[in-house]
Every structure is written in C-alpha cells, then in structure tokens.
Structure 1
C-alpha cells in the first residue's frame, strides 16, 4: 500500500484553554475535532489521531490513536514522528498533518501541499496577515515517511522547533489566501472559541 494518510495532531496540553482536549470542545454544536475530520477525511486515504493519555476518550471515532514515542511531550514534531512511524508500519509513504484546534483549514490543503513539496517531499502551509507578512503554519504539513529516521535523530538531539528541521530539508511552502479570514485560525483560548463561533456563522 502507498498513498497518503492524515494525522490529526491532538497531543498538546491545552494550557491556555485550562487543560483537557481542545479538540473535544464544541463549536456550533459540533466538536472541533469533528470539524477537522470532516475537512481532512476526503483529502486522504485514511486518518489517525495523535494524542497522549487514555486513548479510550477517542474510541467513538474508530481511528488509530497514536501516542508520542518521545517522552515529556516535546511538541508537535513528536506527533509528526508518531504519525510517520504508524504510516511506515501500514505501508503508507506520506502523511499530512492538521491541528485538532483549527476547524476552517482549506479543503484543498493536501493537493496544494503536494504541489508545493520541496526536493525531499516536505511542504508546509502558509498565509499572510493583515500587514502582508507571510506566516508558516508548521502543524499543517506534508511529511515523507522516508525522513522519519532523520526526524527521530533530530528530536533525540533536542530539536523542538519544526521550521528548523523543515528548513534543513528544503521544505516547500503552499501559500493560502487569508480572506475573508485566515483559514488556519486556531482555538488556543476561550475567547478564540467565541471568535470561531462568529466565523462559523459567517460561512
């Protein structure tokens, strides 16, 4: 088997939301992670969730739950590595990641990332703010399984910042329009959930 798998990154501690699983908080009567699954599933051959702690809390989704393989919650790169290890075992050659707290990401995310992939098959998503500055969104990326050994070594060596690793591997950048709002808007704080509700109503 080959193809592409989607991995939803839900392994964070959600400290600015008071803890717990951000992805299980409701937005418009539907949980954030449901919004993410609805957007990502049509773009991939299969899905998995990267999350730490008791996997039973995600049982109803009937998706593989992948804990970090690195100790002490070293950040999103550990979730990427968990996804790559799972994909390798499943015979899948590429994964795409999406954050569990970002309910409006583009419906053409995967296609655009694949078109923008760099020489080693990596790509990140990006968008511009109101001042025109381009921001990368490193939890939204295309990751080849072939690089998982290199990523593991980098994490074991103390690397935590995603873009330092992706820059070293010449990752491409897929820029997405940020109008009428940034599709990578994410819910970090309670007030972000309120803003997301207003955005959902406007769609």
Structure 2
C-alpha cells in the first residue's frame, strides 16, 4: 500500500492545560510535537501540522502548517478536513492523523490502520484499544482517512456534525485494534505531563 500523508492534529485550544500550544510543552529533552513527529515520520510519505493562529511559532519544525477551513474550533474533524484538502493538492489518496499531545502512540500505527481497511469501499479506520466497559475504546484523533470523502466530510461539518464516530460510522469506518492502551495516553493537563515524564 502507498504510505499516506501524516497530519498532526494541534488545532484545539488546550484549555485544560491553561491555553497555548500543548505540543510545544517539553517532555524530557524534546517537545511533545517533536516526539510525535519522530514516531510518525517513518510511517508516512510526508507530514503536515494542523494548527490555527500564527504559523510562525512552528517555523523550527520545517513542516507545512495548515489551519482549519471551518471557523469556530470545530474539533478534530475540522483538522481531518484540512488535512484531506491539503493531501488532495499533493496528489495523495489517504491521510493518517495523530494527536500532537499523544507521544507514545504505536510505531506500527499506519500498517495496522491500513490492514483494518483491506477489502472495504473506503480506507477509513480508527485506532482502538480494549475497554472493560465498552469492549473497545476508539481513539478518534488516530485514524486513516480517504481523500475521496473530503467533500462528504465538509458537508457533514457544515451540517453541524462534530463527533468523529458519528461520521465514521456512516461510512463503515473500521477499527484497528491495539493491545496497549497506554500507547494512546494523551497529555491534557499539567498532571498528565508529570505522568508522561514517568512513562518515558
């Protein structure tokens, strides 16, 4: 399979962290974003960052910065759409998204997502881990997304859809199962950052 383009989602407002860019917080000797790029880069053909506001603050990363095209901080799906639109200009068929605040995600994220969509109409899948109450817990910021559905996603966002799984379920989105729930630990608060330091 052709490697997808990687899109790092950093378009949120980081309110639980006190605002600012969570991805630029230090974890050990690197920023969270640097750690995410390091994990994602070997798995994809190219990388871009979805972030709103002045892109100059990410200049040292040397990757394209693409803002949401839907106003009002419409959530992860807006970042997915921005990534799909950018990937279309690059001639790509798919993107894989990863959250900027989740530094330990699996090093085989992309091949497992691709495997989960073999034989389906659209390569659309979310990462998931075992959950004692729900069976499987989906991680909606970690997914494989087809460029072919970008206009459908745009229409859904314009209709007010914000919940990722509402849209993926409409299109027979699959799940890629990962055993290690800790791999998707995300840094939302200062306490989470302390936990992440312990996990390093």
CA distance in 2, matches of 1:82, 1:192: 28
Shift of 1:131: 6.1
Aligned equivalent of 1:103: 103
**What is the alpha-carbon root mean square deviation over aligned residues?**
1.3
Does the CA contact (< 8 Å) of 1:4 and 1:93 recur in 2? Answer: yes
Give every structure 1 segment of 4 or more consecutive aligned residues whose post-TM-superposition deviation is greater than 3 Å: 129-133
Q: Does 1:157 align with 2:156?
A: no
Structure 1 residues 129-167: Cα deviation after superposition (integer angstroms, max 9, x where no partner): 466842000100000100000000000000000000000
Judge which range, 93-102 or 3-12, deviates more.
3-12
Partner SS state of residue 58, structure 2:
helix
For residues 196 and 158 of structure 1, do their structure 2 counterparts lie closer, same or farther at Cα, with a shift above 3 Å needed?
same
Could you say if the C-alpha distance between residues 3 and 175 of structure 1 is closer, same or farther in structure 2, counting changes exceeding 3 Å? closer
* SS of alignment partner, residue 183 of structure 1: helix
Is residue 43 of structure 2 the alignment partner of residue 35 of structure 1?
no
Deviation at 1:126, TM superposition (A): 0.4
State how many pairs are aligned.
197
Per-residue Cα deviation, 1:5-52 (whole angstroms, up to 9, x for no partner): 000000110000000000000101210001100000000000000000
| 1:115 correspondence with 2:111 | no
Q: Which TM-score applies when normalising by structure 1?
A: 0.94
Aligned-partner Cα distance in 2 for 1:97–1:163? 14
Query: Which residue of the partner structure matches residue 141 of structure 1?
Result: 143
Unmatched runs of 5 consecutive residues or more in structure 1: none
Query: Aligned-pair distance for 1:191?
Result: 0.3
Cα distance change on mapping 1:130 and 1:191 into 2, 3 Å: farther
Q: C-alpha distance in 2, partners of 1:125/1:88? A: 23
Distance in 2 between the 1:115 and 1:30 partners? 31
Deviations 1:102-130 (A, max 9, x none): 00000000000000024321000001246
SS in 2 for 1:7: strand
